[in-house]
Amino acid sequence: MKTLNTLLLVAATLAGTASVYAASHAGAPMSSTTDTKKAGSTAAPADMAEGEIRKVDVENKKITIKHGVIKNLDMPGMTMVFQVKDSAMLEKVKTGDKVRFSAEKAGGAIVVTDIQPVK
Ligand SMILES: [Cu+2]
């Protein structure tokens, strides 16, 4: 499983990011209400996975994405097929596009809930 190295690297990167975040916020008062609100609503770019569209299947509401780490799903980078929450999302992207996206587990499938082309 060659994804192990990727995972370790990502874990190290995340740890680094987290400590930078903590350091930059040291001394500032805890504003948990604001932070929670921000994370919960319009997906913060930092929480979105990166990927490249490999195939768009409008008929079956599916999309193939070569994606990077998906933090909330604990998934390393790979190429896989996702379902999409709304087929209108498939009209925003085409094969070869670089995207940022959010995905969630829903009823045994992994569903893309938001997708944005990256310029
Ligand atoms: Cu995957």
Nearest to 103 by CA among 68, 80, 73, 65: 73
Confidence band, pLDDT 50/70/90 cuts, at residue 38: very low
Handedness of CA 6, 9, 11, 16 (dihedral sign): negative
Please report the pLDDT score of residue 31 as a whole number.
46
**Residue 46: predicted pLDDT:** 62
State which amino acid sits at residue 75: M
Ligand 1: centre distance to CA 77 (Å): 6
User: Whose structure tokens read 């990927």?
Assistant: 51
Cα-to-centroid distance, 93 and ligand 1 (Å): 18
Band of pLDDT at residue 36, cut at 50, 70 and 90: very low
**82 Cα to the center of ligand 1, angstroms:** 8
- Report residue 10's pLDDT band, with 50, 70 and 90 as the boundaries: low
More confident residue, 44 or 118: 118
Residue type at position 106: A
What is the DSSP code string of 33-70?
Answer: HHHHHHHHSS--GGGSEEEEEEEEETTTTEEEEEE--B
**Average pLDDT of 41-68?**
87
Q: What is the pLDDT of residues 74-115, one digit of tens each?
A: 999 999 999 999 999 999 999 999 999 999 999 889 999 999
- The mean per-residue pLDDT over the stretch 56-75 comes to 96
Q: 6 vs 22, which has greater pLDDT? A: 6
* Ligand 1 centre distance from Cα of residue 37 (Å): 27
Strands 109-117 and 78-84: parallel
* Residue in this structure with the two tokens 């490249």, named with its chain if needed: 52
Joined tokens for residue 6: 């990727």
How close is the Cα of 79 to the center of ligand 1, in Å? Answer: 6
The verdict on pTM exceeding 0.75 is no
